[in-house]
Homo-oligomer: A and B are copies of this chain.
Amino acid sequence: MTTPKRAAALVIGNELLSGKITELNVVVLARALRKLGIVLDRVLMIPDERPLIAKEVAALSATRDVVFTSGGVGPTHDDLTVDAVADAFGVAAVTHPKLEAMLRAYYRENLTEGHLLMARAPEGARLVATAEHPWPTIVKENVWVLPGVPQIFAMKMPVIAAELGGAAGFVSFATYTTLDEGPLKPLLDAVVAAYPAVEVGSYPQWQEPRFKTKVTFDGLDEARVRAARDAFAASLPSGTEVHVPEA
């Protein structure tokens, strides 16, 4: 099995750190990457500060196969991501002729200088689009510059899949039990030790009348993941496993 690609997300915006807006994009990205077999292993949320964004983009880009930024791509004073990504790679942000043409066609006589700021991209960036989602996404080296608005962010997921898909996705199975994590611990330790390639998660459920703990089994090798789940389920004391239909 090849090593899966590693990804990081850099979520940008004072409005998230002040609690003015609830962050909604990370889970969407996480699920999309999971299906592509890409491991998201770091998410960082920071304020609208250009030098800080540039520093974090550079650090994440150097240590991950792919990086996704979220937010800060509009035309106003707090939209600094394009400039900061350019800074991170030591290039200028320049007006991209294709983006400019698309913005002129879209806004027509209502076009302002402000709108044209959205035509800027780091020098040497690629524009990625699909037939279904023709508005281009800016990708500089391994950094995808995604918008913060959740409806538009979500629309970018198929574009990412078209570009980065191909590997097998992670599979996930779950077992539900009436035991809480106290008595479960030795059973979990046993399955974790026996199946090192399978990621075992244990989640206490509150406000759930049918079971106390959901135990999940994840990995890239479906047969191994299934075997781990089955071994764990077989180790549960009689009558403590609960069958719950998948949501």
Q: Are A184 and B17 in contact (CB under 8 A)?
A: no
CB contact between A21 and one of B14, B77, B203 (< 8 Å): that residue: B203
Q: Are B34 and A182 in contact (CB under 8 A)?
A: no
What residues of B have a CB within 8 angstroms of the CB of A181 in the complex?
A: 74-76, 114
CB contact between A184 and one of B23, B43, B76 (< 8 Å): that residue: B76
What residues of B have a CB within 8 angstroms of the CB of A14 in the complex?
A: 199, 201
Q: Are A22 and B27 in contact (CB under 8 A)?
A: yes
A67 to chain B, nearest CB (A): 14
A112 to chain B, nearest CB (A): 4
What 0/1 readout, one digit per residue, does chain A (73-84) give for beta carbons within 8 Å of chain B?
011111000000
Whether A243 sits at the interface, judged by CB under 8 Å, is no
Whether A246 sits at the interface, judged by CB under 8 Å, is no
CB contact between A183 and one of B26, B114, B186 (< 8 Å): that residue: B114
Q: Are A77 and B188 in contact (CB under 8 A)?
A: yes
A102 to chain B, nearest CB (A): 14
Taken together as a complex, chains A and B put the C-alpha atoms of A9 and B73 apart, in Å, by: 25
Whether A231 sits at the interface, judged by CB under 8 Å, is no
Taken together as a complex, chains A and B put the C-alpha atoms of A112 and B29 apart, in Å, by: 38
Q: Are A185 and B76 in contact (CB under 8 A)?
A: yes
A31: nearest chain-B partner, CB-CB: B19
Q: Are A78 and B206 in contact (CB under 8 A)?
A: no
Chain A contributes a number of interface residues (CB within 8 A of B) equal to: 66
CB contact between A114 and one of B26, B46, B117, B185 (< 8 Å): that residue: B185
Whether A15 sits at the interface, judged by CB under 8 Å, is yes
What residues of B have a CB within 8 angstroms of the CB of A77 in the complex?
A: 185, 188-189, 192, 200, 202
CB contact between A172 and one of B20, B182, B183, B207 (< 8 Å): that residue: B20
CB contact between A151 and one of B200, B207, B216 (< 8 Å): that residue: B207
A198 to chain B, nearest CB (A): 12
A93 to chain B, nearest CB (A): 16
Whether A111 sits at the interface, judged by CB under 8 Å, is yes
Q: Are A114 and B30 in contact (CB under 8 A)?
A: no
15 residue pairs A–B, Cβ–Cβ below 8 Å: A15-B201, A15-B216, A16-B26, A19-B31, A19-B32, A21-B27, A41-B47, A44-B44, A75-B181, A75-B185, A76-B181, A76-B202, A77-B189, A113-B185, A114-B185
- What are the 10 closest A-B residue pairs judged by CB atoms, nearest first? A19-B30, A114-B185, A19-B31, A114-B182, A43-B45, A115-B182, A112-B182, A76-B202, A22-B27, A17-B40
